[in-house]
Structure 1
């Protein structure tokens, strides 16, 4: 992967408990880290495999290796939220991570 392919800004968010202005504990999404990413839709065999389990809204994000990322987080990209379904440290080289995430339906 070339550095110029990492041209989209994404924000990883962590679900955590914070204390609000009234002193009450509230569970909310908090920004963990903002990163450059390559973003692609699934295609070919990956797309059809996702369609079988009704996960067609899955997007693949490729970022530089970053510690502390797990499936409990979500991604904010272009105003949409994506729940992380899998994380792959490509070839265990600690250079790039491929994250598959499914768009969250906000229709209620």
Structure 2
């Protein structure tokens, strides 16, 4: 992976609980970290495996290694939200991570 391939900005979001003006707790997605990423669609065998479970909207994000990322987070990219489905520390070298995420369908 070359550094110049990380040319897209993505924002990692985490679910937090806050109290609204009426005193009720509500869960909201809060920006956690903005990073540079390489973004690509699935192709070849990966695409057909995703299509078999109707997950064609899966996108692959490659970022520099960050220790505190997990599957409970969400990615914001080009005004679309993506649920993280898997995280791979590439070759366990702690240099890059490959995140597969499924686009969240907009309601309404």
TM-score after normalising by structure 2: 0.95
**What does the per-residue CA deviation read over 1:15-39, in whole Å, with 9 as the maximum and x for residues that have no partner?**
1102334543221001110000000
**Unaligned stretches of 5+ in structure 2?**
none
TM-fit CA distance, 1:66: 0.5
**Unaligned stretches of 5+ in structure 1?**
none
TM-fit CA distance, 1:2: 0.6
The aligned residue for residue 65 of structure 1 is 65
State the SS of the aligned residue for 1:71: coil
Question: CA RMSD, aligned part only?
Answer: 1.1
The aligned residue for residue 93 of structure 2 is 93
C-alpha separation in 2, matches of 1:21 and 1:65: 38
Pairing of 1:3-82 with structure 2 (within 5 A): 3-82=3-82
C-alpha separation in 1, matches of 2:32 and 2:96: 18
Matched positions, count: 108
State the SS of the aligned residue for 1:67: coil
TM-score after normalising by structure 1: 0.95
4+ long deviations beyond 4 Å: none
C-alpha separation in 1, matches of 2:22 and 2:69: 31
